[in-house]
Amino acid sequence: MNEANFKKKLMLKIQGGQAPNGTVKVSGAKNAATKLMAAAMLTSDIVTLYNFPTELIDVRYKADFMSKIGVNLSFDDISSVVTINSNNICIPNLDNYEYPIRTTYLLVAAQLNKNGLARIPYPGGCRIGDRKYDLHVMIWEKMGCKVSEKNDYIEINGQLKPAEICFPMATIGGTENALICAAGIDGTTFIRNAYVSPEVYCLIEFLRSIGADISTAGNSFISVTGCKKLRGSSFKIIPDRIEALTWIIFGVLSQGKIIVENVPFDIMEAPLLHLKEAGIDIFQNSTDVYVNNNCLKNKKIQPFEIACGTYPGVISDMQPFYTILGLKAHGISRIYDYRYPDRTSYLSELEKFCPDALKWESGKITINGPSKFIPANAVSTDLRGSMSLVMAALLADGNSTIIDVELALRGYNRLLEKLQGLELRCKIDYC
């Protein structure tokens, strides 16, 4: 995927009502891969990452910025491998700091270690509304650096030093930033009220592989003894649990025949249990799932109630897929999400496919099923919400269009290729 393509606004045109048939392989986890790209910058030696989702839009944006500060990245799309050489990191002086990625803060530590100065785009690409990066400023200041907010970018000066970081709330992004900052310096840093999700643990394992000494106690305390001279590594990314759940639920709803390969069962126990409680009996071996119309007990999806929270439960990123599952359940289903209570912007677009079936308020979604999907034109609002719109369009008999589908491509590697591999008729055009 070249720059001209990944920076375009896209639409997905779908001929819905088709039964999928075929095999889809779950890619490496987006929420691990993009973090390991930043962590790989800590070492001047070569890092090779396997099972890497090379064609994600978020990956390409981050690679674009990294290349502009002297990092050399080589992508092998066929083998799903990226090789990273960070031996020549320089101080960025860019004409444009607009990058639509949230985790720019992870690019600070390597710049500071090499040059004593870091410049990064504002997380998300712009300064709108309340600051969403206060915890990251706290990390850098606690570790001895000065933070300046410029018009187009954040500038951090100084040398990172070991510290004790205590978060006021459990935070994945803050935990990842503190880990990366601590791993590349001499001394021991303590991180309290951390959040160790599977993707964060993947980051910890990678940092250990390049020479950091990291220990954890439960899911909330981490001790990091770092090292200025870290080594290279060859490391495999874990499969994407959210993508795996997406394909499993789509297979159930579509009544097709899908084999889902590379499923990380060990980190999906609770989400899969909720499917079982909804009357879904999937066929599985150690790595794969087979979904067909025999997976439904009594031939119906049973209504359910789910509360989204932290791992090992159902996380908020999975919420849209249980919402669309509830639209086919026989009865009223409810989803509670008090961690991210206003994650509802996609619902007004999803409702176009199933009028009058959804009601929502802060922290609660009520779903009246079963609903018949009708074709519609919808606009993506966020990554996971966009994918729920794609699923709804595929389930509706007729032609639909999902505008700004590049939001889904931020988190679903080779999405069009995978859909077409399931014998589904769809194509991507520029908006």
Answer for the pair 242, 411: CB distance below 8 angstroms, yes or no: yes
Sheet with 187-194, strands from edge to edge, namely: 164-171, 187-194, 221-226, 213-217
Query: 126 catalytic, yes or no?
Result: yes
Q: What string of DSSP letters covers 11-70?
A: EEEEEESPPPEEEEE--B-HHHHHHHHHHHTT-SS-EEEES--TT-HHHHHHHHHHHHTT
Give every CB contact of residue 201 below 8 A, 6+ residues apart in sequence.
none
Distance, in Å, from the CA atom of 99 to the CA atom of 57, rounded to the nearest integer, reads 11
Paired with 221 in beta bridges are 192, 217
How many CA atoms lie within 13 Å of 61's alpha carbon, on the beta-carbon side?
Answer: 27
CA distances to 178, 201, 224 from 172, rounded to whole Å, are 10, 11, 16
CB count in 10 Å sphere of residue 61: 21
Q: Would you say how long the chain is, in residues?
A: 431
Cα dihedral 138, 103, 390, 272 sign: negative
* Catalytic-role residue among 126, 166, 227, 354: 126
CB atoms within 10 A of CB 332: 14
- Say what angle helices 172-183 and 108-115 make with each other, to 10 degrees: 20
- Locate 179 and state its tokens: 């880990």
> What distances in angstroms separate CA 173 from CA 37, 105, 118, one per listed residue?
14, 9, 18
Q: Which amino acid is at 34?
A: T
Neighbours of 398 (CB within 10 A): 13
218 within 8 A of 193, measured Cβ to Cβ: no
Give catalytic residue positions. 126
